[in-house]
Amino acid sequence: MAHVLLVEDNELNRDMLSRRLKRCGWVVSSAEDGWRAVCMAEQERPDVILMDLSLPVLSGWDATRKIRQMPEINDIPIIALSAHAMLDDRTSALAAGCDDFETKPIDFDRLVTKMNALRLERFRDEH
């Protein structure tokens, strides 16, 4: 089963998204700040990470950079989630090491499509 780490500090958004993901068969763990996200990524090695950008402790950008520095987990796909629809957020998220970017409010179907595409890509890279 595919495992996703959802990093989101807003409890409402976290619950809502996590419920929907579980309904389509994902195993969901969640973290509410950037630091916990890095710790959990290292511990649990999820298949995909959904990363909100404005997070406490470490921002989504910083958490992504950190994950990208850690050899065991630096290949986990990360999709940035942000309400900031501005172009420079998209650019800076990709620069920090995110693989893709989704704007809130989330288009759920498009998000899941992207998640699966990234999983597949990684699977191909590994085999």
Partner 1 sequence: MNTNRILVVDDEEFNRDVCVRRLQRKGFEAISASSGDQALEKLQAQSVDLILLDYMMPGLSGLDLLRFLRQSWSAQELPIIMVTAVTDSHSIAQALDEGANDYITKPIDFSVAMARIRSQLARKRAEAALRKSEERYALAAKGANDGLWDWDLVSNEIYYSPRWREMIGLSEDISHDPAEWTSRVHQTDVDDLKAALLKHIEGLDSTLQVEYRIRHRNGSYRWVSTRALAVRNDAGKAIRMVGSQSDVTDRITTDPLTGLANRLLFDARLEESLHQYREGSRYSFAVLYLDVDRFKLINDSLGHAAGDSLLREVATRLRNSVRDMEISSRPDSDIVARLGGDEFAILLLGIADRAQAENACERLATAIRPAIQLPDNDIYCSVSIGVVLASQTYNAISEMLRDADTAMYAAKAVGGGHWAVFEPAMQNRVRMRLQTETDLRHALDRRELRVFYQPRVMLSTGEIRGFEALVRWNHPARGLIMPGEFISIAEETGLIVEIGAWILKEACRQMKEWHGQYARHPQLDIAVNLSVRQCREPDLVAQIKATLDETGLPPECLHLELTESLLLDDIASARKLLQDLKALGVGLKIDDFGTGYSSLRYLCDLPFDTLKIDRSFTIQLGAGEDTAEDSVIRTIIAMAQNMSMGVIAEGVETEEHVKRLLAIGCHFGQGFFFSKPVSAADTEQLLAGHASWLPRSSALIECR
Contacts to partner 1 by CB under 8 A: 10, 12-13, 33, 35-36, 38-39, 42-43, 54, 56-59, 62-63, 65-66, 69-72, 83-86, 104-105
Q: How far is the CB of 16 from partner 1 (least distance, A)?
A: 10
- In degrees rounded to 5, what are phi and psi of residue 106? -75, 135
Which residues fall within 8 angstroms of residue 76, CB to CB, at 6 or more apart?
Answer: 41, 45, 46, 47, 48, 49, 67, 122
Return the number of the residue (86 or 120) whose C-beta is nearest partner 1.
86
Tell me the CA end-to-end span of the chain in Å, nearest whole number.
18
Q: How far is the CB of 40 from partner 1 (least distance, A)?
A: 9
Return the number of the residue (3 or 42) whose C-beta is nearest partner 1.
42
Which residues fall within 8 angstroms of residue 69, CB to CB, at 6 or more apart?
Answer: none
Q: How far is the CB of 9 from partner 1 (least distance, A)?
A: 8
